[in-house]
Amino acid sequence: MTATIFRTFLFGLVFIFGLVVMTALLPSHYQAHAEQTIAVRDVQTVKQYLNVENWQELLTPQSDLQLSFLTQAQQVGGYGELAHPWGLAEITVLSLNEQGVTVQIRFDTEHVAHIQLAVSQQEESVVVTLSAKGENHAPLVGGLYARFAAYYVEQQLKMMMNQIVSQLKLHRQG
């Protein structure tokens, strides 16, 4: 009886240790991507989102996300906050030009992501791309969090892209 309890305890201990080691070995970085081709006539409407302050319109379907800027969002170095159900994130505009904007989002000191909105003109159309690259530095479970973040961020980018398309349709109709 005692030997069975000991073996069960030892198996549980080895199993948990193995799980922790496997989780710690997962890569802590991730990428997500969403892309849409639009008509050339819509490029100016899309370029309004190069001002990150206008991104709140893209987050509208998710009412628990609130974006506010404390300094100029249409300039490099613009700083703001994203209120999220899981906490407050800092947002900083890293680069800005006629073709795109890149922002850094930082949750605490453990999770950093760079999100880019790029507008590239092709021959007869314009490609709008939303992409994210992030990394989670949480000890032991950072890789597990990164896998979750990859899925979550990709869903957010798709939602934002759907909002851009909806705004274009509304702009054309009105």
In a domain? residue 13: no
d(CA 63, CA 65): 5
Q: How many domains does the chain have?
A: 1
Q: What is the pLDDT confidence band of residue 174, given thresholds at 50, 70 and 90? A: low
Question: What digits encode the pLDDT tens for the residues 71-126?
Answer: 787 788 888 888 888 788 898 899 989 899 999 989 877 788 999 999 988 878 88
In a domain? residue 16: no
Question: What digits encode the pLDDT tens for the residues 121-146?
Answer: 887 888 999 999 998 877 767 777 78
In a domain? residue 23: no
In a domain? residue 69: yes
Residue 94 belongs to a domain with what CATH number? 3.30.530.20
CA 105 to chain centre: 8
- Please give the pLDDT value at position 115: 93
In a domain? residue 2: no
Range of the domain at 37: 28-172
In a domain? residue 67: yes
In a domain? residue 3: no
Q: Which residues pair with 81 in a beta bridge?
A: 68, 90
Does the pLDDT value for residue 70 go beyond 90?
Answer: no
